C-alpha cells in the first residue's frame, strides 16, 4: 500500500536534510534511541569492489506503531517527540526529517519494524526511494512470534561509500562526538552502540579521572548531576543540560567556563523530576517585561530560570564546575611550567642549589596563581607573561610578597574567594620558606662545626684533595650566596674555557680557546663567579666577580712560596686580555691553618687599603690570605644576628669539639662523608 506525504519532493530536498553520510547515519541512530532503544547495532556489507553495498541499523526500541503511522512516519517536519514539549537539541529525530537522511548517499531505504499492542507483537515494513520521496510503500501488518520490539533500517543502492569510510577513525570520532555523553548518562542501564559487532568505547572521549556524579537536594527535589570532563571537542560542551525524569532536555544554560581558553572542555547534565514541568521564561512568546513577570510570579513555586530553587541549583553547579576546573588546572600546572620555560619567560637563576630554591619558590607560586586565575597566562603574549613572572619574582625576593595579590588585581578581576585563596597560598609559601631557612641554618651550623673538627682536631690526618677540596666544592656558600661554581680541580686553560662558555655560551669558541702560558696546566682548586644585577653594576662599576681558591691541608703553613704561587695565578689571568675588563674583579684566596711572618708583613703593607686579609692588589686583582679560624669567624659574624634571633643553643657538636683531643684519618673520612651528605642549601 502506497502512502503520500503532503509535501513536494523539492521541499524535502531543501528542508535541512543531512548532506554527509556520517550525519545521516547519526540521525537513524538517534531515531532508535528516541524510540527508547538501549542497544543499537550498525552492520554493513562490502561488495567485490570494496564498496559498501548495504548498511543495516537495528535497535531494540518500541518500533513504529502501524495504526499511528500517519502521525509519525508520514508526518514531515513534525513528530510525536516534538509534540511532547521536548526542547532538546540533542534528540535528533524531533522534526520528522531523520527518515529521509539516506538520500544524501543512497537510493533505497527499508524499515522492518516490530511493535507491541497489549500482549501481542506485530510486524510490517516500509519502503522508500530517493526518486519519489513524498511516497512510501507500507506492507500489511501481521502478528509475529519475534520476542521483542525494535526497528531495522536497511539502506541500499549506496553511492561512493567504501569500507574505509565506515572503518576509520573519522567515523568513530563522529559517533563518539554525538553519543559519548548519552552512553555515559545511561551506563547504569547498560546502553550499547555496536559497529559490526564491535562496541563503541565512549570512554575514549571522557576523562574518567575528573568526570564525576553528584547527588544534590534542594528543598523537596533531588538532582542527579553528571559532570563530564571531555578529552576531545564535543557538540554539547560548556552547557548545563537540564533533563527531566525521562532524560528529555527542558532547558540549557552556559557554564561560567564557556570561554575559558584552557582546554577545560566539559558538560554538565542534571536529571530531576523538578524539570518535568519546567517552563523557561524565554519560551513564553507573550512576555514583554521580565521584571514585571517576576513580581507577579511566585518564584518558589514556578519552575523557570527565575525560581529560587533553580538559582540555588545553579549556585551549587557553579561550585562543582569551579572546583573541577581548579582540579584540572592543578593537574596540568606542570605542563604550563614546561610551556613557559619553552617561551623563555622565566628569569635566569644561578645553576646552583640556592638558585634552584629561588626558582622552585617562583614555580610554586606561578602554579598556584594559574590555578586561581588561569587567564593571566593563557591569554597573554610572551612579553606579558615575562612581565608578570618578573614582578612575581621581584616580590618573592622581598618582604612584599603579599603585594602579589595587588598586582594580580591590576591584571584581572579577582573574586573574593580567589583573593582569599591566593592570600592563603602566599602565607603557606612564606611558612615553607621559613621552615627551609631554619633547616638550612641548622645544616650550615652543623657543617661548620664538623669542618672545625677536621681542620683543628685532625691537622695531620687531613689532606687537601680527599677532604678539604671535596667539602669546599659543595659548600662554597661560605664565601657568599651570590656565587656559583665554574670548575673544581681543573687546570687554568680548561677552567677559563668553561668560564668563557658560561659568559658567552658559544661552544665552538670554548673548544678553540687556548692559553699561551707555561702555567696554564696548573690547577685551580675552586673557581667561583657571580654576575651582579645591572643596577648594582651602574653603582659600583663591577659587573662580574670571580674567586679562585687555593686550599691547603691544615698542617701546611702559608708562606712566601705559596704567595708566589698565587701571584703566578694572578699574572696568568692578567695576561689574558679578554678577562681584564675593569668591570671584572678577580679575588685569589689561599687558606690554611697557619701563616708565617712574610704573610704578616704583607698584611701590614696593605693596611691602608682597608681590606682585611689583603696581601696584594693590582688593578682589578686582589690576593687574600686567610686562616680557617678567619673563615669561621667571618661566618659567625655574618650569621650571628640570625642565630641569636632564632635562639640556637650550643649544639652537641660544639660540646664534643671542645672535649675531644684528636681525630685520626678514619675519623676525618667519616666527618667528610657526613658533611658531603648534609645539604645546606636545597632544603
pLDDT digits (tens, 9 = 90+) for 129-163: 988 877 889 999 999 999 999 999 999 999 888 88
Percentage with pLDDT > 90 across the chain: 30
Establish if 292 belongs to a structural domain: no
pLDDT at residue 623, rounded to an integer: 96
Same domain, 145 and 189: yes
CB-based contact 229:324 (threshold 8 Å): yes
User: 59 and 105, same structural domain?
Assistant: yes
CA angle 548, 550, 552 (to 5 degrees): 160
Per-residue pLDDT at 582: 78
Residue 250 is assigned to a structural domain of this protein: yes
Give yes or no: residues 79 and 214 share one domain: no
Task: Provide the 8-state DSSP code for 413.
Answer: P
Predicted TM-score (pTM) of the model is 0.55
The residues facing 128 across adjacent strands are 109
Residue 184 has what pLDDT? 87
Q: Which three cell numbers stand for residue 428?
A: 603557606
**Which tens digits make up the pLDDT trace of 536-586?**
444 456 678 889 999 998 999 999 999 999 999 898 888 887 777 778 889
Is 525 within the bounds of a domain?
yes
187 and 218 within one domain: no
Q: Is the pLDDT of residue 534 over 90?
A: no
Residue 286 lies in a domain: no
Same domain, yes or no: 548 and 480? yes
What is the Cα–Cα distance from 55 to 53, expressed in whole angstroms? 7
Is 70 exceeded by the pLDDT of residue 526?
A: yes
- How would residue 83 be classed by pLDDT, with cut points 50, 70 and 90? very low
CATH code assigned at 39: 3.30.565.10
**pLDDT for 15:** 47
Model confidence band, residue 661 (pLDDT cutoffs 50, 70, 90) = low
Model pLDDT, residue 425: 66
Residue 486 · residue 529 · CB < 8 Å: yes
| Separation between Cα atoms, residue 22 and residue 38, nearest integer Å | 21
Report the pLDDT averaged over residues 317-325: 91
pLDDT interval class at 378 (50, 70, 90) = confident
Q: Which residues pair with 531 in a beta bridge?
A: 544
Do residues 217 and 362 both lie within one domain? no
Most confident of 351-365, 389-403, 420-434, 546-560: 546-560
Q: Terminus-to-terminus CA distance in the chain, angstroms?
A: 87
Domain-ending residue, one of 199, 216, 241: 199
Q: Which residue has the higher pLDDT, 586 or 13?
A: 586
Query: Per the domain annotation, does 641 fall within a domain?
Result: yes
Report the 10 Å Cβ neighbour count for 480: 12
CA distance linking residue 344 with residue 124, whole number of Å: 70
What nine digits make up the cell of 469?
677540596
Higher pLDDT, 372 or 469: 469
At 342, list the grid cell: 619553552
Phi, psi of 475 (to 5 degrees): -120, 45
Sign of CA dihedral 236, 237, 242, 243: positive
Whole-number percent of the chain with pLDDT over 70? 77
Residue 680 has pLDDT above 50, yes or no: yes
pLDDT of residue 85: 34
Looking at residues 432-439, what average pLDDT do you find? Answer: 65
Q: Which of 156, 174, 199 is the endpoint of a domain?
A: 199
Task: Express each pLDDT in 282-315 by its tens digit.
Answer: 655 444 444 444 444 444 457 888 999 999 999 9
Name the residue with higher pLDDT: 166 or 300.
166
Judge if 550 and 580 occupy the same domain. Answer: yes
Q: Which three cell numbers stand for residue 237?
A: 560542551
Mark whether 565 and 639 lie in a shared domain. yes
My answer on whether 405 and 465 are in the same domain is no
Mean pLDDT across the chain = 80
Give residue 515's pLDDT: 73
Residue 289 in any domain: the answer is: no
Between vectors from CA 366 to CA 363 and to CA 369, what angle results, nearest 5°? 150
The residue that leads in pLDDT, 658 or 572, is 572
Query: Mind listing the pLDDT tens digit for each residue in 234-279?
Result: 877 889 999 998 888 899 999 987 666 678 889 999 999 999 999 8
Q: What is the pLDDT of residue 144?
A: 95
Whether 315 and 456 map to the same domain: the answer is no
Q: Is 27 a member of any domain? A: yes
Q: Is residue 466 part of a domain?
A: yes
The beta strand positions in 378-500, using DSSP E, are 484-491
Mean pLDDT, residues 492-503: 77
Q: Are residues 145 and 18 in the same domain?
A: yes
Helix, strand, coil % over all residues of the chain, rounded to 5? 45, 20, 30
Q: Indicate whether 400 pLDDT > 80.
A: no
Whether 377 contacts 336, CB under 8 Å:
yes
pLDDT higher at 217 or 516? 217
Element (H, E) at 628: helix 628-645
Residue 535 pLDDT greater than 50, yes or no: no
Average pLDDT, stretch 195-217? 91
**Domain C-terminal end among 393, 418, 436:** 436
Total domains, the chain: 4
Domain extent at residue 586: 444-677
Position 17 pLDDT exceeds 70: no
Q: Are residues 425 and 510 in the same domain?
A: no
Amino acid at each position: 500500500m502506497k502512502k503520500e506525504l503532503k509535501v513536494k519532493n523539492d521541499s524535502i530536498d531543501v528542508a535541512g536534510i543531512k548532506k554527509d553520510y556520517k550525519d545521516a547515519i547519526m540521525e537513524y541512530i538517534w531515531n532508535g534511541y528516541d524510540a527508547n532503544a538501549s542497544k543499537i547495532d550498525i552492520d554493513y556489507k562490502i561488495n567485490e569492489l570494496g564498496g559498501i553495498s548495504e548498511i543495516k541499523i537495528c535497535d531494540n526500541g518500541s518500533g513504529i506503531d502501524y495504526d499511528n503511522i500517519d502521525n509519525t512516519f508520514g508526518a514531515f517536519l513534525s513528530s510525536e517527540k516534538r509534540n511532547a514539549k521536548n526542547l532538546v537539541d540533542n534528540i535528533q529525530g524531533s522534526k520528522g526529517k531523520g527518515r529521509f537522511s539516506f538520500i544524501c548517499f543512497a537510493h533505497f531505504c527499508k524499515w522492518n519494524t516490530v511493535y507491541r499492542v497489549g500482549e501481542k507483537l506485530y510486524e510490517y515494513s516500509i519502503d522508500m526511494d530517493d526518486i519519489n520521496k513524498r511516497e512510501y510503500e507500507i506492507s500489511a501488518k501481521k502478528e509475529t512470534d519475534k520476542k521483542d520490539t525494535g526497528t531495522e533500517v536497511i539502506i541500499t543502492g549506496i553511492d561512493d561509500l567504501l569500507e574505509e569510510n565506515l572503518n576509520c577513525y573519522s567515523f568513530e570520532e563522529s559517533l563518539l562526538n554525538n553519543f559519548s555523553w548519552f552512553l555515559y548518562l545511561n551506563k547504569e542501564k547498560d546502553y550499547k552502540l555496536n559497529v559490526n559487532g564491535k562496541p563503541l568505547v565512549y570512554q575514549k572521549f571522557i576523562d574518567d579521572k575528573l568526570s564525576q556524579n553528584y547527588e544534590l537536594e534542594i528543598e523537596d527535589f533531588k538532582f542527579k548531576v553528571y559532570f563530564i570532563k571531555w578529552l576531545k571537542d564535543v557538540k554539547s560542551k560548556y552547557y548545563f543540560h537540564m533533563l527531566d525524569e525521562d532524560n528529555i532536555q527542558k532547558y540549557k544554560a552556559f557554564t561560567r567556563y564557556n570561554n575559558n581558553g584552557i582546554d577545560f572542555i566539559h558538560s554538565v547534565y542534571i536529571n530531576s523530576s523538578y524539570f518535568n514541568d519546567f517552563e523557561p521564561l524565554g519560551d513564553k512568546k507573550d512576555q514583554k517585561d521580565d521584571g514585571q513577570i517576576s513580581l507577579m510570579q511566585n518564584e518558589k513555586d514556578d519552575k523557570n530560570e527565575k525560581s529560587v530553587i533553580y538559582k540555588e541549583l545553579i549556585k551549587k553547579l557553579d561550585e562543582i564546575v569551579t572546583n573541577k576546573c581548579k582540579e584540572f588546572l592543578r593537574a596540568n600546572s606542570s605542563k604550563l611550567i614546561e610551556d613557559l620555560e619553552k617561551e623563555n619567560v622565566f628569569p635566569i637563576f644561578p645553576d646552583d642549589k640556592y638558585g634552584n630554591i629561588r626558582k622552585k619558590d617562583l614555580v610554586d607560586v606561578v602554579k598556584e596563581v594559574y590555578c586561581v586565575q588561569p587567564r593571566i597566562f593563557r591569554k597573554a603574549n610572551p612579553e606579558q607573561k615575562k612581565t608578570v613572572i618578573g614582578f612575581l619574582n621581584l616580590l618573592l625576593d622581598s618582604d612584599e610578597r603579599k603585594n602579589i595579590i595587588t598586582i594580580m588585581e591590576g591584571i584581572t578581576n579577582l573574586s573574593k574567594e580567589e583573593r582569599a585563596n591566593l592570600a592563603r597560598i602566599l602565607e603557606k609559601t612564606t611558612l615553607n620558606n621559613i621552615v627551609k631557612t631554619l633547616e638550612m641554618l641548622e645544616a650550615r651550623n652543623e657543617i661548620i662545626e664538623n669542618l672545625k673538627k677536621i681542620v683543628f682536631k685532625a691537622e695531620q690526618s687531613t689532606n687537601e684533595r680527599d677532604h678539604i677540596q671535596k667539602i669546599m666544592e659543595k659548600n662554597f656558600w661560605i664565601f657568599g650566596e651570590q656565587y656559583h661554581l665554574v670548575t673544581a680541580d681543573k687546570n687554568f686553560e680548561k677552567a677559563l674555557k668553561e668560564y668563557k662558555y658560561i659568559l658567552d655560551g658559544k661552544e665552538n669558541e670554548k673548544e678553540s680557546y687556548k692559553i699561551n702560558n707555561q702555567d696554564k696546566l696548573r690547577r685551580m682548586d675552586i673557581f667561583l663567579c657571580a654576575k651582579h644585577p645591572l643596577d648594582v653594576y651602574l653603582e659600583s662599576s663591577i659587573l662580574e666577580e670571580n674567586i679562585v681558591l687555593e686550599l691547603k691541608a691544615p698542617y701546611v703553613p702559608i708562606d712566601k712560596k705559596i704567595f708566589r704561587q698565587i701571584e703566578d695565578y694572578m699574572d696568568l689571568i692578567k695576561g689574558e686580555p679578554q678577562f681584564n675588563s675593569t668591570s671584572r674583579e678577580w679575588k685569589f684566596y689561599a687558606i690554611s691553618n697557619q701563616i708565617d711572618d712574610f704573610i704578616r708583613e704583607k698584611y701590614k703593607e696593605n693596611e691602608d687599603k682597608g681590606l682585611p686579609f689583603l696581601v696584594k692588589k693590582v688593578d682589578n686583582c686582589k690576593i687574600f690570605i686567610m686562616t680557617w679560624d678567619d673563615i669561621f669567624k667571618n661566618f659567625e659574624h655574618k650569621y650571628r644576628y640570625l642565630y641569636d634571633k632564632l635562639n640556637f643553643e650550643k649544639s652537641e657538636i660544639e660540646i664534643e669539639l671542645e672535649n675531644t683531643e684528636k681525630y685520626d684519618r678514619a675519623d676525618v673520612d667519616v666527618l667528610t662523608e657526613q658533611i658531603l651528605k648534609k645539604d645546606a642549601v636545597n632544603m
